């Protein structure tokens, strides 16, 4: 199935969000390889956050998005690592910006949606 067909399938699942999904397809074709949930919400306005969660889950299932769980430095200096699932994130990490060990808490985890290279190659 082509990426276009995949987006149309997703649009069939969410007919009220068809316009938002087609805008997303257009955005992905020239945009960065990853997006935060907040950025997607901005790009796809007026989609609701609740509906966007469902759409993102569908796009993950269809292979258009891969979730990335990024652990941020508690010092605010940047990211310390990307993980493919929450289960992969260790309970404790070392902040290489400060050299200090810390407990990873939910507020230090940023959820991103990455567009895999295989999907980017199919974008118009």
Half-sphere exposure of 35 (CA within 13 A, CB side): 24
Alpha-carbon distance values, 45 to 39, 55, 109, 123 (Å): 10, 13, 24, 22
For residue 82, give Cα distances in angstroms to 7, 28, 109. Answer: 27, 21, 9
pLDDT digits (tens, 9 = 90+) for 36-67: 999 988 888 777 888 888 888 888 888 888 99
pLDDT in tens, 21-37: 777 777 777 777 889 99
Q: Kindly state the tokens that stand for 112.
A: 């991103």
User: Residue 81: which pLDDT band, with cuts at 50, 70 and 90?
Assistant: very high
pLDDT of residue 90: 97
User: pTM for the full model?
Assistant: 0.77
């Amino acid at each position: 199935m082509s990426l276009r067909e995949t987006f149309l399938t997703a649009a069939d699942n969410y007919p009220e969000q068809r316009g938002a999904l087609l805008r997303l397809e257009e955005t992905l074709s020239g945009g960065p390889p990853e997006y935060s949930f907040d950025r997607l919400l901005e790009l796809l306005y007026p989609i609701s956050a609740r509906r966007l969660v469902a759409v993102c889950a569908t796009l993950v299932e269809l292979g258009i998005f891969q979730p990335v769980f990024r652990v941020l430095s508690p010092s605010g200096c940047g990211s310390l690592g990307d993980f493919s699932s929450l289960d992969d994130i260790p309970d404790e990490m070392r902040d290489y910006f400060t050299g200090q060990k810390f407990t990873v808490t939910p507020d230090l985890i940023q959820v991103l949606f990455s567009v895999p290279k295989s999907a980017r190659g199919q974008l118009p």
